[in-house]
Chains A and B, each alone.
Chain A
Amino acid sequence: MAGAEGDDSLYPIAVLIDELRNEDVQLRLNSIKKLSTIALALGVERTRTELLPFLTDTIYDEDEVLLALAEQLGSFTVLVGGPEYVHCLLPPLESLATVEETVVRDKAVESLRKISQEHSPVDLEVHFEPLVKRLACGDWFTSRTSACGLFSVCYPRVSSTVKAEIRQHFRTLCSDDTPMVRRAAASKLGEFAKVLELDYVKSDIIPLFTALASDEQDSVRLLAVEACVSIATLLPQEDLEALVMPTLRQAAEDKSWRVRYMVADKFSELQKAVGPEITKNDLVPAFQNLLKDCEAEVRAAAANKVKEFCENLPEDSRETIIMTHVLPCVKELVSDTNQHVKSALASVIMGLSTILGKDNTVEHLLPLFLAQLKDECPEVRLNIISNLDCVNEVIGIRQLSQSLLPAIVELAEDAKWRVRLAIIEYMPLLAGQLGVEFFDEKLNSLCMAWLVDHVYAIREAATCNLMKLVEKFGAEWAQNTIVPKVLSMSNDPNYLHRMTTLFCINALSEVCGQEITTKHMLPVVLKMASDQVANVRFNVAKCLQKIGPVLDSSALQAEVKPVLEILATDQDMDVKYFAQEAISVLTLA
């Protein structure tokens, strides 16, 4: 193996390194992305002694190249000779962790975190931890932000003296004078707390948490809210009141809406972290305030959490709390001035019925559902309709049908085709819950009207919808109600509508079964083979190919084959193509 191949692989190496220095960024990028191939070709030793030093010196490059490099190095351990040598990867990654571009830096930190696990405890203290320290003391803020993400991965595996140093560095970064670094520290606070011993959580983390939560920059304070969840989970219940709650209360009433938004957004997590007692005493009033906040953003975030919050309330007092504290706020939100708030509420409000049970739903929630079904904003109505199944389980859908119908009709005719599309998607669900009679009476005509919508996506969805309806209501129903209407469209002067007939047949033949397909659909399809529009003709060919498996062999031979043979000699090349394809797929040749 040695001789010839060894020589052969030597030449490319120089060229490869040259490739990494190519003038064209794209080529450099390509080479970097294939760095593992290069390393493999070089072998572990030369990768360590030549390639890595070269890479460390190349750091001044375009960010895109650096990003690829940072990513590659994270999985380079094997290529430098395994865990024993993994520390060789640290110098280039250290440089990458100090560049300005956030994406590159984050990737470098991610790779560093990954390879930290591959260090032996000794190497971690000898090589990795000093790197973290250097970054933490860097002059420019970028290296200090990167350091924040590395403490938690080395802390659990180092000696107690080094641990003390790490805690000290983290403390320093939490009070750094650039907000960028404080933000990085605040966002890693929860993660760091998790690896600390409980005593240090109390003595170190809590003061840092309190300080960050009252930082002068709201962008820092809001990150402390995130940390609050992890910290509260770590502490024993009896310490929460004194150590966490004052800060949380303050955050819920922060003067910046961004911080309050964050509290609302993390409310379920907070609720779980602080437990039922504090929830009852503190979080319930806080939640009420968030639902009544002066900023719509905050109200919407809180409205999104209504169902989850109620679900997670302690069972013994759940109903009372909902009825006396939450529901009054919810009622106000139904007529909020902001549509995002209303639609956030509409997406969860139906879920309350399962929690409150039948009587309360009928008495208190039903009026709200009805109001939202009549909301001026289509999004609100859609959100209600899309969650009908929750209510159906509790009180049945009949109670709503009177209001439901106008809402559906209006959405079905909405000027925006994407709204129409959304409501079509709920039709099978509605049909299932409203029953066949109600459907025939009120909704069938809507479903047929969609087939001639002027937007293709709607016609397509309508076709698919018919198939799902037949799956629900059966072939007999199909034969009586929809098949005649679909087939009559084959005589429509508009060729797009004639094609819709074919698309419907494609979708329906299988669910309708052989009899209906052969007796009713096939003759129509065959007749359309002589349509003057080529698009219709080649769709006939495609349609025959599709429904062929449903038909029996005599029909295929006697009726389908001759027509396809004619189409195969059509003057239009597309018609010919699809006819021939159908003949070969159906093996009629």
Chain B
Amino acid sequence: MSAISATEKVDGFTRKSMRKAQKQRKSQGSSQFRTQSSLVELSPLPHLKDTPSTEQQVLFVQKLQQCCVLFDFLDSVTDLKSKEVKRATLNELVDYVSTNRGVLVDSAYPDIIHMISTNLFRTLPPSENPDFDPEEDEPSLEAAWPHIQLVYEFLLRFLENPDFQPSTAKRYIDQKFVLQLLDLFDSEDPRERDFLKTILHRIYGKFLGLRAFIRKQINNIFLRFIYETEHFNGVAELLEILGSIINGFALPLKAEHKQFLMKVLIPMHTTRGLALFHAQLAYCVVQFLEKDSTLTEPVVRGLLKFWPKTCSQKEVMFLGEIEEILDIIEPTQFKKIQEPLFKQISKCVASPHFQVAERSLYFWNNEYILSLIEENIDKILPLMFGSLYRISKEHWNQTIVALVYNVLKTLMEMNGKLFDELTASYKADRQREKKKEQEREDLWEKLEALKLQDVSNSRGLQIAQNNNNNNNSLTNAEEPNTSAAITDSVNSQTFNCAK
């Protein structure tokens, strides 16, 4: 976002050093137009508890209105007195709605919501650090937190008050209110996001009419995060809320929810900051599978499709998630995915990155997974054998070699006969693979030659091809074969696609 300046072009390191310099200033104000001149000074109103109950309502509203005045907290010297008055008043208001019964009369709702909206709903400022890395960098904290925290606290108490009437509140806590609340989840301040999480959860619980809307908006935020910006600070919090929402889904699952799983949650595994919310994401996925085990196959295939190619850290996370899924998988579902899954696992155990290899070999310590493997050993052993056998001879890391030996031993005990056969044919198999590889290369070479020839014929190209086509349709000896091969392949592809 910030201007690309001359030294950033000449000096790739400047940013890092600037980042360090910036760490010193951690707090941020909100992005608002502020009036330069100091506002009217606030003067303290009488205490609510010292006021006769008949006048309390009027005073309550006055106090709410007083709290609508905003202050600049980046400037730590101005308006000190007024800031203190507002802080005390907010404290009193929190106290008032959390301890007293009968204070939430209908007429107070608009003032309450107005006070909350005025304080909370603001445009978040640009990030101090354009390449903010939540794992490494310190987040910028909200400068006005002394007030904002109390407003959040107040909102929460208001929602939790036994007298709180969703039917009255829904006129004010509407779609627009929720939308603005959701925007705030992008705040860099983890304290703020934590409050928002609890509050949104309460709203989702109390306002049935807003539920579909909230889910749809979260959906939109996620899609934007995955496919457009790759940046949103509150993903983990939103996923945490979703985790408990999914838990409450009725069976059978609606198409909308399945779509959310397949088109949002699974692609979310591809994002850069996965480490920050993987635990919550995996929890959501597992929740879905616990609800409806028939989703196992599409989910596992989806994960395999997005399997990390270069990032070992992510690969370890994927393996962790697969283990969580295998922990709850039904044996019939397992059979459906064992082949593609163990092809991938066989690649993982052979990974030169020892953490990836180690994580996948740990599957063999899991009793339930072992029992699934044993049940299907005839299918799984041939998939795993090649990698394990090779790795047992050539992995650089001794721990991995030791683990592989244990795994090979376990597999041998499951089906010794098959194991011996595979050992015997190992060499021949490798040679066959090599030969196939050679054939492929030859084929492409031939094709390239054909292409060159065609290009050099340039004008003759069309005619030659027409000839070819005519030939093909005339020499029926070969033609049906080839087209059969193609139709076959199309069919088998369609079978593969069918979930």
Contacts and interface: CB of A to CB of B under 8 A. Distances in A.
Contacts of A405: none
B251 interface: no
From B5, B10, B32, B440, name the one whose CB has the most chain A CB atoms within 10 angstroms.
B5
Contacts of A100: 227, 263, 267
Given A102-B228, A294-B32, A422 B489 contact: no
Contacts of A37: 447-448, 450-451
A38 B454 CA distance: 12
Contacts of A57: 490, 493-494, 497
Contact of A295 (B126, B444, B486): B126
A418 B7 contact: yes
A409 interface: no
Interface size class of B (residues with CB under 8 A): 35 or more
Nearest to A6: B471
B451 A14 contact: no
A341 interface: yes
A34 B33 CA distance: 57
Contacts of B466: 43
A300 B490 contact: no
Given A7-B478, A418-B14, A300 B3 contact: yes
Interface string B480-494: 011101100110111
A556 B1 CA distance: 59
A422 B7 contact: yes
Given A12-B446, A140-B263, A58 B220 contact: no
B12 interface: yes
B443 interface: yes
Interface size class of A (residues with CB under 8 A): 35 or more
A238 interface: no
B464 interface: yes
A416 B13 contact: yes
Given A17-B486, A37-B448, A256-B123, A43 B469 contact: yes
Contact of B6 (A27, A34, A179, A382): A382
B14 A379 contact: yes
B477 to A, nearest CB: 9
A1 B464 contact: yes
Interface string A37-56: 11011011110001001100
Nearest to B31: A257
Interface in A381-437: 382-383, 386, 416, 418-419, 421-422
Contacts of A41: 447, 450-451
Contact of B451 (A2, A19, A40, A141): A40
Interface string A433-462: 000000000000000000000000000000
Nearest to B262: A100
Interface of B: 1-3, 5-8, 10-14, 17-18, 31-34, 123, 125-126, 176, 179, 220, 223-224, 227-228, 263, 267, 305, 343, 440, 443-444, 446-448, 450-451, 454, 464-469, 471-472, 475, 478-479, 481-483, 485-486, 489-490, 492-494, 496-497
20 contacts: A2-B467, A2-B471, A6-B467, A7-B478, A41-B450, A43-B469, A50-B486, A53-B490, A57-B490, A100-B227, A100-B267, A141-B223, A178-B223, A216-B179, A261-B1, A294-B33, A294-B34, A295-B126, A340-B3, A343-B7
Given A255-B32, A344-B5, 10 more contacts: A6-B467, A27-B440, A37-B450, A62-B305, A216-B176, A297-B126, A340-B5, A379-B7, A382-B7, A383-B5
